[in-house]
């Protein structure tokens, strides 16, 4: 029998992914979900211009390894230069490259307990030592994160604004002020995946040349292109240049680049989607409140709902919804795991959620 010579680190890791996809659950249940409200996808879809651009792309050609046209458009959009921007296979792909650049076995990295698990997955994959701080008032706390980074001499500290899974957010100016306590030599990885669905002033108001921070953005959320996997990072040119040492230069397919470029150039569609998301957040909050649950304020394309008890009760509610064909998720760490998280959906999706919730709650009450 062949002995596959994996590294000791690879041998030590579980063969699992951070998320169980809805397709996996559908296969197990042998039926599709009625409403797909768990993956924070944009059910309102991408710009029709993006769909046309992707359909018209010559798929026989590799994508431009420099993503030149998309980077140029992003530079114009953000009032910066192409040297401040790298494009990659979603924020997840960019996080993998960033961790590969910075983290050797044993290097300290800081995040919040219960925050986006894919970042943790990449840190584990490169042997980093992950240090976690608790949420404060159901939100990530920059002061706690930066203090912990100083204690452990962290190379990276991860924070999302707005946050997933809670939907909470900080004013960008407040994060900028807190960065006075960011230790020298520690890079802030600021995940702004949901910034287009957040209130004005949420984005970090610092120059993209600031060497203390790298900002992650995506076309998966407000722009509706999750399946195309297009993300980008904004940072100091010398840091952006380092990505070219390790990134997959043909990782961005031509259709994805064309779709993202067209989406960026259709602000009217983005405004339409932002309005749909705001209305859906209000409807989810209304449904939750009608059943005695507490919707948390959200700046993302989902609403986290406090079920008011413990993890076991919240999990029972989630299981009851899944059994009734409603795909939702829940936070992973206590005490936030008293909640479930419901992505924005169409009126029909949310009607289905409203119809399923009373039964799910009744089942959870029975224990």
First-last CA distance in the chain? 49
Q: Classify domain 19-45+268-366 by CATH number.
A: 3.90.1150.10
Element (H, E) at 82: none
Which two tokens mark 157?
């500290």
Angle at 165 between CA 365 and CA 176, to 5 degrees: 145
State which fold the 48-265 domain adopts.
Answer: 3.40.640
Give the whole-angstrom CA distance, residue 24 versus residue 26: 5
Do residues 222 and 281 make contact, with C-beta atoms less than 8 angstroms apart?
no
CB atoms within 10 A of CB 255: 18
Which residues in 204-218 are b (16+ Cβ under 10 Å) and which e? bebebebebbbbbbb
Nearest to 146 by CA among 117, 185, 114: 185
pLDDT for position 250 = 94
Q: Digits of tens for pLDDT over the chain (367 positions)?
A: 568 899 999 999 998 877 888 999 999 999 999 999 999 999 999 999 999 999 999 999 999 999 999 999 999 999 999 999 999 999 999 999 999 999 999 999 999 999 999 999 999 999 999 999 999 999 999 999 999 999 999 999 999 999 999 999 999 999 999 999 999 999 999 999 999 999 999 999 999 999 999 999 999 999 999 999 999 999 999 999 999 999 999 999 999 999 999 999 999 999 999 999 999 999 999 999 999 999 999 999 999 999 999 999 999 999 999 999 999 999 989 999 999 999 999 999 999 999 999 999 999 999 7
Strands of the 294-295 sheet, one edge to the other: 294-295, 302-306, 339-343
Residue 7 backbone phi and psi in degrees, to 5: -70, 155
pLDDT for position 19 = 81
Q: What is this structure's pTM?
A: 0.96
**What does the domain layout of the chain look like in residue ranges?**
19-45+268-366, 48-265
Between strands 294-295 and 231-234, the pairing is unpaired
């Amino acid at each position: 029998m062949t002995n596959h010579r994996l590294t000791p680190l690879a041998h030590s890791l579980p063969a699992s992914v951070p998320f169980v996809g809805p397709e996996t659950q559908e296969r197990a249940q042998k039926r599709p979900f009625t409403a797909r409200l768990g993956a924070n996808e944009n059910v309102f879809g991408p710009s029709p211009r993006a769909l046309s651009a992707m359909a018209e792309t010559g798929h026989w050609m590799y994508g431009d390894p420099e993503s030149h046209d998309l980077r140029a458009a992003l530079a114009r959009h953000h009032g910066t230069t192409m040297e401040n921007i790298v494009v990659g296979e979603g924020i997840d792909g960019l996080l993998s490259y960033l961790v590969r650049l910075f983290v050797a076995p044993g290097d300290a990295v800081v995040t919040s307990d219960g925050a986006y698990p894919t970042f943790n997955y990449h840190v584990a994959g490169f042997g980093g030592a992950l240090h976690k701080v608790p949420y404060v008032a159901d939100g990530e706390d920059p002061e706690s994160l930066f203090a912990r980074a100083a204690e452990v001499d962290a190379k990276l500290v991860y924070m999302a604004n707005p946050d997933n899974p809670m939907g909470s957010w900080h004013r960008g100016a407040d994060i900028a002020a807190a960065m006075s306590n960011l230790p020298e030599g520690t890079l802030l990885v600021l995940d702004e995946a949901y910034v287009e669905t957040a209130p004005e002033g949420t984005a970090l108001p610092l120059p993209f040349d600031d060497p203390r921070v790298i900002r992650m953005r995506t076309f998966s959320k407000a722009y509706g292109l999750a399946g195309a996997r297009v993300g980008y990072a904004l940072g100091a040119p010398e840091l952006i240049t380092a990505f070219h040492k390790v990134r997959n230069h043909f990782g961005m397919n031509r259709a994805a680049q064309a779709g993202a470029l067209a989406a960026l150039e259709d602000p009217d569609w983005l405004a339409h989607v932002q309005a749909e998301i705001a209305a859906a957040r209000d409807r989810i909050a209304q449904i939750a409140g009608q059943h005695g649950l507490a919707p948390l304020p959200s700046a993302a394309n989902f609403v986290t709902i406090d079920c008011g008890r413990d993890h076991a009760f919240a999990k029972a509610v989630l299981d009851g919804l899944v059994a009734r064909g409603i795909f939702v998720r829940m936070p992973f760490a206590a005490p936030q795991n008293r909640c479930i998280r419901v992505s924005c959906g169409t009126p029909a999706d949310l009607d289905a959620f409203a119809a399923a919730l009373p039964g799910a709650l009744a089942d959870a009450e029975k224990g």
